[in-house]
A and B are shown apart, each in its own frame.
Chain A
Amino acid sequence: MMIWKFFWQALFFFSLIMFIVMFLKFTKEGYNDLKNIFRDHEK
């Protein structure tokens, strides 16, 4: 039981950290890419 319990706890924190990393990375890069898409369409 303890192995599963600690494994799920570790997995939860891993998910949360990855979520925050992805949020910071892709929010910024995605915004720049969206601007590029609209600029290309206007051209």
Chain B
Amino acid sequence: MTYIDFIIIACYLSLIFGVGIFTRNYVNGFSDFMVANRSVSLPLGVVTMLGTELGLITVMYNAQTGINGLFSSFHIGLAAFIVTLLIGLTGFVVVELRRLKVKSIPEYYNLRFGPRTRILGAVLLCLGGILNMGLFLKVGAIFIQSIFGIDSSSNLLTIIMLVLLILVLVYTISGGMLSVIVTDYIQYVVLSISFILCVFYSIKTLGWNNIFNSLEFIMKENNVDYNIDLIYNPVDKMGGAYISWQVVLGFVSAVIWPTSITRVLSIKSTSLVKKQYLWSSFSFLIRFIIPCFLGICAFVYFNGNTGDQSLALMPKFLAEILPVGILGIVVAGMLAAFMSTHDSYLLCWSTIITNDIIEPLYRRKISSDFKIFLTRIIIIILGVYIFYWGMFYEGSDAIWDYLGITGAIYFTGAISVVVLGLYWEKASSTGAVLSLLGGLSSIIGLEPVRNFIGLSIDNPAVIGIISLIFSISLMIIGSIIFPDKAKGLIK
């Protein structure tokens, strides 16, 4: 990396920092801070959704998934695409949620099942979500370390991560959702250009046909009995349980995950929701396929020698093939992606803690200014947590599996509570509470927990599916045995 690359990166980081400070003047109340006063249009809705969902973490774990699963891992993007497209065509769940004008999923719980479900749902949502983002900084650190060639034991790495984290904290605290939308837009533009350049240089360096021929040759060379079909066929490579789990994750990513649904709740009108999902279905496809492809290219470039560093392979590959200047743009784009995910996640969890846990527990209306103040304090606390957790967590699960399982603590219960709450009149608050608590069972899927209880299982997706079925059963049984006296608080 040359000084030209460093100048490009420094200019970009300065621009983002300036925007965060600038948008501070445009925050007029908590609704502005949390959902940009529902002023987001379709293009901005799509752009910011992609800006959030296509973070550096996504790029890194999908590249890792591509290295581990090769072309068969493309099925994850296909599943997400089909599920999101169907939601866009039907408006399933999302149109109803937007129509209710809630600011978050727990606020919907409150409307449908009452405050008890709201608080419990918000606590589990934050638990799953905050654990989920715990590894973001670590993954970002691996990217920086690999692309800059920094020694992993160096203190410089910690300092760089700390500086990046402080930058994110400052502009998220300053501007809230409006700041997130503006920076997501800039980051979308920079990241899109970076991605197109990465794909172009990858194909130019390796050659299109050579990628496939080399991949087949490498797999055969490493193991003469290797079945080439496993490179491409997801059913043979991953199995039915894994693919089913990806369909669930596709639905969750699009509908249940708070950072996505916040975009729906921020959009101008109910009529735009379906359109947003139709366009976003392509975003969900792109965010898997292109990083997976870059991971596969890295695998081919290094002749399949991943060692135990499958996460570091893609950034090392980019550092070797990209010319001067282009590398600076790509690193700026990736850092943009790193920050766009952090700002959205920090804002999402902190506003939910304020809006759906602290305020209901306080039992009195908290002023808009004090809510913003509380949210800013929580953002700082979350920043300290992700710095600590990212540096010290010792699990070795693939990042995608870690994210799936930690997220499942929240979403396995939330799927039945949201979907059945909207479409099944007999769904009761007791059933909802039982279902949310049932979702906690998926924590068993985490590697340190599995090791602690002595559970030997190769595929954490199986635990996720069992946990989902368990939660849905609890929702149905609980609702039938303990029905609410006042059926359906909302119609």
Contact = CB atoms under 8 A, between A and B. Distances in A.
A29 B282 contact: no
Contacts, number: 90
Contacts of A27: 47, 188-189, 192
User: Which has the most chain B C-beta neighbours within 10 Å: A14, A18, A19?
Assistant: A19
Interface of A: 1, 4-5, 8, 11-12, 14-16, 18-20, 22-23, 25-27, 29-34, 36-38, 40-41
A8 B71 contact: yes
A5 B196 contact: no
B20 interface: no
Interface in B279-322: 279, 282-283, 285-286, 289-290, 293
B43 A30 contact: yes
Contacts of A20: 196
Given A5-B212, A11-B78, A34-B182, A29 B43 contact: yes
B77 interface: yes
Nearest to B23: A38
A29 B276 CA distance: 14
B269 interface: no
18 contacts: A4-B232, A5-B71, A5-B212, A11-B285, A15-B77, A16-B199, A19-B290, A22-B50, A23-B192, A23-B196, A26-B279, A27-B188, A30-B43, A30-B188, A32-B43, A33-B43, A36-B41, A37-B178
A1 B74 contact: no
A4 B71 contact: yes
B contact face: mostly helix, strand, loop, or mixed: helix
Given A4-B232, A12-B293, A15-B285, A26 B199 contact: no
A31 B44 CA distance: 8
A23 B190 CA distance: 10
Contacts of B39: 37, 40
Given A1-B228, A40-B39, 12 more contacts: A4-B71, A4-B233, A11-B78, A11-B289, A16-B199, A19-B195, A19-B282, A23-B196, A26-B47, A31-B185, A37-B44, A37-B181
Contacts of B229: 1, 4
User: Which has the most chain B C-beta neighbours within 10 Å: A23, A27, A32, A36?
Assistant: A23
A19 B232 contact: no
B388 interface: no
